[in-house]
Structure 1
């Protein structure tokens, strides 16, 4: 005999007001769908999220929340469609992004998704026979083939078994490299290359990791402004300049800053001659470029760095950390503004030893971090008025 399962039916609590407590029957029950009716702590109807003029939910979405039920929208990344209805439901926690009729949810935090042409900073984690495995903050390790680097020798040649035996002399476990994404495979892993003299092994500096999505939403040419303050958004901008030389104060030398789209940042002492070699590599053939390559570019020995330069490298690192902690997007303009603001904060502190000790004067946290962000926002507000 077949068994029929009936759906549960919730009785209307308003059908019998005679047994209700005194005063309960006098309370009007709103028929609005946005109201909540609770029985025994169980909500019978939930409040709807506020929607804009396009019938889209506003604010930060959470997994399982309905973005829209309008059939005119197409679902994008971070969403899925209920097969029994036209509702588009979020699968990640983040903000809604619209491109024409395509709707997607950009996560607040996510692993880096490689794209061809991205400048990334990575760490060698494994050495294989003909390639290196590189950690670039992506779901899968990227690979750097032996054929995708410049080897000393002066000629364009095939990589032989002798090169494979000496592969650890070029890059070994723990080395930091700056490279470009050459291709992306179907499984999402990336292949890197360092064929330009602008890329290669990193030294004479400090490594910094930035949390966030890493490159997503980086199509804007300038930092977004909202009123008099910068719009809060994490990650490194993909379309902006990512490598530049920063002039420092307090007697420090110039400092090179590399902003990897994957959220890995490298701050190092500027070495004279690297700019000339990089510009020359853009105007010469591949064979001539390999003649310019020497074994010194694969050296792991750091150069001598003065205490003043070390101090300014540390200051820049702290400025970037303050930007990240306050949700400001990291790019050349914001980093430079934060560095100048940190110098102004030091001038405001003065020489009062009772207020701050000499060791704590260089620590950019607490009230000093709040003041730094305030000065950065004021600078962008002035530029917005000028424009």
Structure 2
């Protein structure tokens, strides 16, 4: 668990320590079928022939030894170590959120919390008019009217090119520029790959995007513009300079603090956990600014213990 750097009184320290200890015990019960190893630990392979040593393993004195801390995984004859905490490694199809840092000829360069910047080509995104056509020199001159420096953009990983650069694509109405919200940067390993990374929290009027790269966006809900509407520019809503309602701003801050809180505790982020934390703060009459206080930190850890214990109990009865 990540250490929490907040001021706790003695009672809160005891409660938090007990909660984290219970979480470790529950985690060990869930992962009892998988072997946890540290560096230099021997991985038992039962003297099998033809064992393939994968990532995080090596051979020493005729034994398979771990070179990383993590969980031992096996796929047929392949043995490898899956690290629990690691930097973001892009995969094709990942939903990511990035920030524009440079406008180059026919492309934008984005910071995506990776070892190198990503590239979004002009030809790999929809034009503002929505018409499918070849990109012209005029489109290249107007690139800054689409995205400019420091804009927050949502896109999908398209793949790696022969030169090693990471390319993105935004050929869908759900991708593009993100406005009227907050961008949070958390450790990428806390965001698990799921079928759905776009979430509309109707009760809050907020859109939540959990980027696989650890960039999380919380903003005012924006309805995607239909392609038929794009063809008629008069139907496009002209509310670019409209202020975000105060209640929606408060909801954005409450959801953002829920993400910050779960990240500081080292809990994996899911839309269910984020909404539960926000609802718990409202039901307990915890003000938005007090969600990052010591007492609510401890209460969140204790609530997670109860949730995981109930899930484990259900699995045993199934």
Q: Same fold (TM over 0.5)?
A: yes
Alignment partner of 1:237 is 2:192? yes
State the SS of the aligned residue for 2:297.
Answer: helix
The aligned counterpart of 2:101 is: 125
When residues 163 and 369 of structure 1 are mapped into structure 2, their CA distance, relative to the original with a 3 A threshold, is same
The whole-number CA distance in structure 1 between the counterparts of 2:164 and 2:131 is: 33
Q: Is the 8 A contact 1:203 1:300 kept in 2?
A: no
Alignment partner of 1:104 is 2:80? yes
Q: Is the 8 A contact 1:115 1:184 kept in 2?
A: no
TM-score by length of 2: 0.75
Following superposition, the deviation at residue 71 of structure 1 comes to 5.2
TM-score by length of 1: 0.63
**Mapping of residues 339-354 of structure 1, within 5 Å:** 339-346=278-285
The aligned counterpart of 2:245 is: 306
Following superposition, the deviation at residue 163 of structure 1 comes to 1.6
Counterpart selection for 1:172 from 145, 148, 173? 148
* 1:300-328 deviation digits (Å, cap 9, x = unpaired): 96641233222221111111122122222
**Mapping of residues 26-65 of structure 1, within 5 Å:** 58-62=35-39, 64-65=40-41
When residues 291 and 312 of structure 1 are mapped into structure 2, their CA distance, relative to the original with a 3 A threshold, is same
When residues 241 and 380 of structure 1 are mapped into structure 2, their CA distance, relative to the original with a 3 A threshold, is farther
Structure 2 unaligned blocks of 5 or more = 1-32
The aligned counterpart of 2:158 is: 182
**Mapping of residues 207-356 of structure 1, within 5 Å:** 207-213=183-189, 235-248=190-203, 253-271=204-222, 273-274=223-224, 277=225, 280=226, 291=231, 303-346=242-285
The aligned counterpart of 2:55 is: 77
The whole-number CA distance in structure 2 between the counterparts of 1:196 and 1:293 is: 18
When residues 377 and 309 of structure 1 are mapped into structure 2, their CA distance, relative to the original with a 3 A threshold, is farther
When residues 302 and 120 of structure 1 are mapped into structure 2, their CA distance, relative to the original with a 3 A threshold, is farther
The aligned counterpart of 2:292 is: 364
Larger helix fraction of residues: 2
The whole-number CA distance in structure 1 between the counterparts of 2:280 and 2:58 is: 44
* 1:345-376 deviation digits (Å, cap 9, x = unpaired): 32xx6xxxxxxxx785x333322112123224
The aligned counterpart of 2:13 is: none
State the SS of the aligned residue for 2:219.
Answer: strand
Alignment partner of 1:160 is 2:136? yes
Larger strand fraction of residues: 2
The whole-number CA distance in structure 1 between the counterparts of 2:129 and 2:197 is: 30
The whole-number CA distance in structure 2 between the counterparts of 1:67 and 1:93 is: 12
When residues 99 and 109 of structure 1 are mapped into structure 2, their CA distance, relative to the original with a 3 A threshold, is same
When residues 366 and 208 of structure 1 are mapped into structure 2, their CA distance, relative to the original with a 3 A threshold, is same
* 1:194-223 deviation digits (Å, cap 9, x = unpaired): 11000000110000111143xxxxxxxxxx
The whole-number CA distance in structure 2 between the counterparts of 1:372 and 1:87 is: 43
Cα RMSD over matched residues? Answer: 3.2
More contact order relative to length (CA 8 Å, sep ≥ 6): 2
The whole-number CA distance in structure 2 between the counterparts of 1:300 and 1:124 is: 23
Structure 1 unaligned blocks of 5 or more = 1-55, 214-234, 282-287, 350-357
State the SS of the aligned residue for 1:137.
Answer: coil
